[in-house]
Amino acid sequence: MTERKVRVRFAPSPTGALHIGGVRTALYNYLFARQHGGELIFRIEDTDSTRFVPGAEEYIIESFKWLGIHFDEGVSFGGNYGPYRQSERRDIYKKYVQQLLDNGKAYIAFDTQEELESKRQEIKNFQYDAATRGMMRNSLTLPKEETRRLIDEGHQYVVRFKVEPNEDIHVNDMIRGDVVINSSILDDKVLYKSADELPTYHLANIVDDHLMEVSHVIRGEEWLPSAPLHVLLYRAFGWETTMPAFAHLPLLLKPDGKGKLSKRDGDRLGFPVFPLEWHDPKTGEVSSGYRESGYLPEAVINFLALLGWNPGTDQEIMTMEEMVKLFDITKCSKSGAKFDYVKGMWFNREYLLMKDNKELAPDFDKILRANGIEVPMDRVEAVIGMMKMKKINFIKDLWPLCDFFFIAPTSYSMEDKFTKKNWGETSASDMTELADILEELDDFSVEGQQTAVEKWVEVTGKKPWNPWRVALVGTGKGPDMYELSAFLGKEETLRRIRKAIDILK
């Protein structure tokens, strides 16, 4: 058999913000497509109009743009297999529903919600299947003419898939191997509803995967229970030879304890579960996003890539190119992956450190401006350069560590622990001597200061560093004193030292 062209798809339903688990699914599809020189399709599965949320589709597209996940075809990307929005494919599905009806693989059912409800009351654990369909109002139990008449009179109906009982169905999963499920546990799933003339997820999903020549279905574990039905559908259509291979990805679990990661975990522990900030159009609720929280997209991608897969070595930091090379769908874990959001912050820090200060400057500049500080960009860059190694995970963490670069201490006080510990008997006179030395300098660069100050330190044995820090910062934080003084310049440095002497004596 010749190798099939790799075509995979990410097929979200536009029911709200894209969950971070969905982002991981899309990423794995992307890596798989790229490493096989294949194509990645973006399909919108919007056949359930009751769950449609305006803005969701645009949100999803913007999220992937930010994350750097590119689709080869699909909604907003174009391509030869369109339309890629299921709500625009009604006529296509109708034809295939008819095919299943014609060859006896599906049937029409007229049961109303009330009738189904009363059956549920009557029979414990009722499900519509081989054992019960004979008791219901459908084209299998009603005379042909009656079925015709009901349709012609405009009664609403659904089309159900006729699942033959007692057969072991094999789902060949690239991660889980041979998954066997007995058909008797399946119900006769609704494939189509006359009320809105739309297919349900199952039918549309299979028809589209077939028509779009999808070779591999890579999706979340929550879809594994649907897979046996999907296998049966491929067979019912006679498409088994081109049935895609399946891979059901491990669940994302709560950071603490067991269970599926939910938005509530994010709210409770303080991390986003959405790529971008989301404004719910119905409730008005605003949910935080990775982008707005100060994450770099590369860090989010790298973090997500390792939730459920690893390259089999200790390597954690990987570019997209490396991931494309190393990724192996068959090596994904079967069991759930703990959503270690603290690790996510660590990734962000690592990526911040790898970035050029110039690239980070605009973001920090925004924060400075929000705090009323406007300085040239090279000053912003210089501060990032001095401070980025400190314990920061986000650019926004820099501000509380860096305010003194731009704002002189307004007060000096022995209430401050660092000041109390380090401003001693001789500090005022030491600082006066230091100020005199610095005042003489023409060259106020790090080296210029160093030469002069070190000479004085050598002769007198003085230790000016901590009181000097008190004077310039007001407390125990900040970079090397020469670097800080050079940044502040001679005038500002001397002003701060003299003010400290004045107040602290």
- Cβ distance to ligand GLU smaller for residue 11 or 352: 11
Q: How many CB atoms lie within 10 A of CB 375?
A: 14
- Assign 97 to helix, strand or coil: helix
- Cβ distance to ligand GLU smaller for residue 52 or 394: 52
Q: Is 5 a known active-site residue?
A: no
Interaction of residue 234 with ligand GLU, rule CB under 6 A: no
Q: Where are the alpha helices (DSSP H) in 178-261?
A: 201-211, 227-237
d(CA 445, CA 212): 65
Interaction of residue 223 with ligand GLU, rule CB under 6 A: yes
d(CA 452, CA 438): 8
Q: In whole angstroms, how close is the CB of 9 to ligand GLU at the nearest point?
A: 7
- Assign 466 to helix, strand or coil: helix
Interaction of residue 422 with ligand GLU, rule CB under 6 A: no
* Interacting span for ligand GLU (CB under 6 A) from 9-17, 99-107, 238-246, 347-355: 9-17
Q: In whole angstroms, how close is the CB of 201 to ligand GLU at the nearest point?
A: 6
Q: What are the b/e assignments for 57-68, b being 16+ CB within 10 Å?
A: bebbbebbebbe
Q: In whole angstroms, how close is the CB of 223 to ligand GLU at the nearest point?
A: 5
Q: How many CB atoms lie within 10 A of CB 222?
A: 12
Binds ligand GLU by CB under 6 A, chosen from 17, 23, 45, 307 = 45
- Assign 310 to helix, strand or coil: coil
Interaction of residue 13 with ligand GLU, rule CB under 6 A: yes
| List 260, 263, 331, 499, catalytic entry | 263
d(CA 466, CA 469): 5
Binds ligand GLU by CB under 6 A, chosen from 11, 136, 175, 296 = 11
- Cβ distance to ligand GLU smaller for residue 210 or 379: 210
Interaction of residue 12 with ligand GLU, rule CB under 6 A: yes
d(CA 288, CA 284): 13
Q: What is the CA radius of gyration of the chain?
A: 32
User: Scanning residues 276 to 305, which ones bind ligand GLU (CB under 6 A)?
Assistant: none
Q: In whole angstroms, how close is the CB of 370 to ligand GLU at the nearest point?
A: 38
Of 244, 220, 218, 241, the closest CA to residue 230 belongs to 244
Q: In whole angstroms, how close is the CB of 373 to ligand GLU at the nearest point?
A: 45
What contacts 75, CB < 8 A, 6 or more positions away? 42, 43, 44, 57, 61, 84, 85
Interaction of residue 21 with ligand GLU, rule CB under 6 A: no
* Interacting span for ligand GLU (CB under 6 A) from 8-16, 140-148, 311-319, 320-328: 8-16
DSSP string, 114-132: HHHHHHHHHSTT---STTT
CB-CB contact of 453 with 444 (8 Å):
no
Q: In whole angstroms, how close is the CB of 384 to ligand GLU at the nearest point?
A: 40
- Cβ distance to ligand GLU smaller for residue 223 or 394: 223
User: Scanning residues 161 to 220, which ones bind ligand GLU (CB under 6 A)?
Assistant: 205, 219
CB-CB contact of 423 with 504 (8 Å):
yes
- Cβ distance to ligand GLU smaller for residue 10 or 339: 10
Q: In whole angstroms, how close is the CB of 262 to ligand GLU at the nearest point?
A: 16
> Count of residues binding ligand GLU (CB under 6 A)?
7
- Cβ distance to ligand GLU smaller for residue 11 or 299: 11
Contacts 24+ apart (CB under 8 A), 142-149: 142/110, 147/108
- Cβ distance to ligand GLU smaller for residue 105 or 219: 219
Binding region for ligand GLU (CB under 6 A) = 11-13, 45, 205, 219, 223
| Catalytic residue set | 263
